[in-house]
Structure 1
Amino acid sequence: MFRLGSLFLFGLLACVTQVAQADMWTYVDARGVKHFASSQLDSHYKLMFHGMPAPDAASAGGAIPGVSRLVSATLPAKSISRLELSPGFLAVKPHVRAAADVNQLDMALLQAVIATESGFNATAVSPKGAVGLMQVMPATGQRYGLTSDHSGTVAAKLTDPKTNIHTGARYLRDLINLFPGQLELAVAAYNAGEGAVQKAGNRIPNYKETQNYVRSVMQLYSRLSASTPYQTTKVVAAESARVRGEFHGVTIPAADVPTASTE
């Protein structure tokens, strides 16, 4: 479900997946654009490299073994810079910032999810029907008030970057509220659905794609957070810092986190 539609993400995601020991599939479309995925989405995809089997998700709290290590790992600064300066991201950056602010999300987290879901390809559509930048299912769009009318179907409306990002951000915020203090579970639920996480006993489901997805998002989130102060309010800055601190086994009081610049 997280097809990467732009070449600029390959180097960055390759770093993530090699550390996470995930598979990488790729194909080049008729326009010469490279697409990447962690599984063979269709017959066009060819295996680029093969990783080790995903670990068991039955550890305490539903965490994937090795995620804490991955979060503290470092991605090349050049790869992060390429992501932050890419035309795809810059074109929607105001919408990402606004959605992060409205929903009290760390902008770096939202950016990591979009990068992993679609590679900032607003026209991406998965084989399951997930649409756009945040790969929102039409049913999820309806859940957040989108309707089919004379102006278009729900799926068509989700191709609009602003609509897609704000809808996906609302869903992500609700998932974070549903699994308080367990960001990995919220990220897993964004990929597999909250029902799958709950059915797994509030643990990350034992799905290879979901486990790889969580690793990729958390790795990107950690590095993006370290490179640029994306937090838009002191409350969001404190929350995201505490989340990152938990992965390192430390506690960061809210009072210790300064207000981040929004520029």
Structure 2
Amino acid sequence: MRLLAAVAAACALALAPAAHAEIWGFVDAQGTAHFAAEKLDARYELFFRGGESFDTAEGVAAPQAEPPAAAPAPAAARVLSFLQVSPGFRLVQPQVREAAREHGIELALLQALIATESGFDPGAVSPKGAIGLMQVMPATAERYGVSGDARAPVERKLKDPRTNLRAGARYLRDLLRMFPGRLELALAAYNAGEGAVQKAGNRIPNYPETKNYVRTVMQLYAMLQPEPPAAATPQAPRRVRMELPGPGGADARRNMPPGLAAVTPLEGPGAPAVVVHD
């Protein structure tokens, strides 16, 4: 059973407002996308709001309202379009899917967390020393079996996508188990540490960075959810057009299959007949 099955109902109310939420972002000089739930500094521009579209052909474009007649594009397609400007996004998708399957984490959640943490840059290093796709601290990696040596210290190993994803996904899995049914607390713990969440009375700590982080991941997670399959609709009777030779065809021989309408000849001598099956 997937780990998130138990938290889906509890998170439904928290995810519902995200359909109309704002996501801010920018693309840096290396082509890496950065996300936030609010404008953190002058680089961030609003590129997504419910009911609006964006274009990343020239970085982060200002949002423009869609024409009334146009059907809105799925939110997932918009976010993925923005993510695809990051050079590492497509390269690491096989490893991301592998980590999601191996540790029972929903793919959309893992993608949302990685997008928020590193913008899918395997070489990202934070000012606090968090490394790689999932911004794993070396001490956390060591807790999950990543050991270094003189030739390959932990810091270097964490820049390998598969190593980083295995350690980070295991940590996220354990946090989901630690805070069952409270996805927002698991995310807050991933950002600020489980001790900070527990010290806050099992609430999101009153840190602006952590609050922004949780909102950003939750909003991206909601947008990256796969579209539900369309309900099957009864098909209207199909018209089958069949061309037959002119004189001497099936109608002339009176051996048309039952259920076919009478042959209606097209205009002009020698023109083929058209049989219509309703």
- For residues 116-143 of structure 1, the C-alpha deviation after alignment (integer angstroms, 9 at most, x for no partner) is 1000001110000000000000110111
Q: 1:82 and 1:190 mapped to 2: Cα distance?
A: 26
Matched, 1:79 2:55: no
> Equivalent residue for 2:222?
222
> Equivalent residue for 1:155?
155
Output aligned runs, 1:61-140, within 5 Å: 76-83=75-82, 85=84, 87-140=87-140
Q: Given residue 79 of structure 2, which amino acid in structure 1 is its aligned partner?
A: I
1:25 shift after superposition: 8.4
Matched, 1:168 2:168: yes
Matched, 1:19 2:18: no
Q: Given residue 143 of structure 2, which amino acid in structure 1 is its aligned partner?
A: R
Q: Given residue 170 of structure 1, which amino acid in structure 2 is its aligned partner?
A: R
- For residues 62-117 of structure 1, the C-alpha deviation after alignment (integer angstroms, 9 at most, x for no partner) is xxxxxxxxxxxx97454224156555222111111111111111011111100110
Residues 144, 79 of structure 1: CA spacing in aligned structure 2 closer, same or farther, 3 A cutoff?
same
Residues 84, 126 of structure 1: CA spacing in aligned structure 2 closer, same or farther, 3 A cutoff?
closer
When the two structures are superposed, what TM-score results if normalisation uses the length of structure 1? Answer: 0.61
Residues 161, 77 of structure 1: CA spacing in aligned structure 2 closer, same or farther, 3 A cutoff?
closer
Q: Which runs of 5+ in 2 are unaligned?
A: 1-17, 47-72, 230-278
Higher relative contact order (CA 8 A, sep 6+): 1
- Between Structure 1 and Structure 2, the one with more strand by share is 2
Q: How many residues align structurally? A: 183
Residues 21 and 219 in structure 2, CA contact (< 8 A), matched pair in contact too: no
- Between Structure 1 and Structure 2, the one with more helix by share is 1
Q: Cα RMSD over matched residues? A: 3.1
Large movers: runs of 4+ above 6 Å = 24-27
Percent sequence identity over aligned pairs: 54
1:145 shift after superposition: 1.0
Residues 175, 100 of structure 1: CA spacing in aligned structure 2 closer, same or farther, 3 A cutoff?
same
Q: 1:47 and 1:80 mapped to 2: Cα distance?
A: 18
Residues 25 and 46 in structure 1, CA contact (< 8 A), matched pair in contact too: no
Residues 39 and 45 in structure 2, CA contact (< 8 A), matched pair in contact too: no
When the two structures are superposed, what TM-score results if normalisation uses the length of structure 2? Answer: 0.58
SS in structure 2 at match of 1:134: coil
Q: Which runs of 5+ in 1 are unaligned?
A: 1-15, 51-73, 230-263
